[in-house]
């Protein structure tokens, strides 16, 4: 099976712009979670989607949003970008009876 894919891999944006990141889960996985990784805060949970519904949400401002499509692909959007949004954004999918999450390669976002 193909693993989790994320596009784009690298992105450079300017403060105030918005950005959309995409994630395709492992085939058959219906749960998709997003995490932000920064040197200062480490790995922090953003949100989880299951069958097109947001199931959990982390402690991030409303500028961070997401959605999931009927084919389980997910997108996250960050509006009005701030310098502090520069991070590696990781997507993970989960399926079956196991609780382990499988991560994609991440999208490295740089805000200038």
Q: If binding is defined by CB under 8 A, does position 105 make contact with another protein?
A: yes
Query: Smallest distance, Å, CB 93 to another protein?
Result: 11
Q: CA dihedral defined by 100, 28, 11, 75, rounded to 10 degrees?
A: -100
24 binds another protein (CB under 8 A): no
Is residue 12 a contact residue for another protein (CB under 8 A)?
Answer: no
The piece of 16-24, 68-76, 78-86, 91-99 that touches another protein (CB under 8 A) is 91-99
For residue 24, CA distances in Å to 9, 39, 44, 70, 72 come to 13, 25, 20, 12, 7
| Total residues interacting with another protein, rule: CB under 8 A | 22
DSSP string, 32-55: EEEEEEETTTEEEEEEEEETTEEE
Region binding another protein by CB under 8 A among candidate stretches 22-30, 62-70, 76-84, 94-102: 94-102
Among 21, 64, 106, 111, binds another protein (CB under 8 A): 106
Do 74 and 91 touch, CB atoms closer than 8 A? yes
């Amino acid at each position: 099976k193909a693993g989790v894919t994320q596009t784009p891999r690298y992105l450079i944006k300017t403060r105030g712009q918005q950005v959309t990141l995409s994630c395709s889960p492992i085939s058959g996985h219906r749960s998709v979670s997003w995490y932000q990784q920064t040197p200062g805060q480490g790995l922090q949970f953003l949100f989880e989607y299951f069958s097109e519904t947001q199931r959990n949400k982390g402690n991030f401002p409303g500028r961070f949003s997401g959605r999931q499509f009927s084919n389980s692909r997910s997108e996250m959007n960050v509006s009005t970008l701030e310098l502090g949004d520069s991070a590696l954004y990781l997507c993970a999918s989960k399926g079956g009876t196991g609780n382990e999450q499988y991560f994609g390669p991440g999208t490295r976002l740089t805000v200038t």
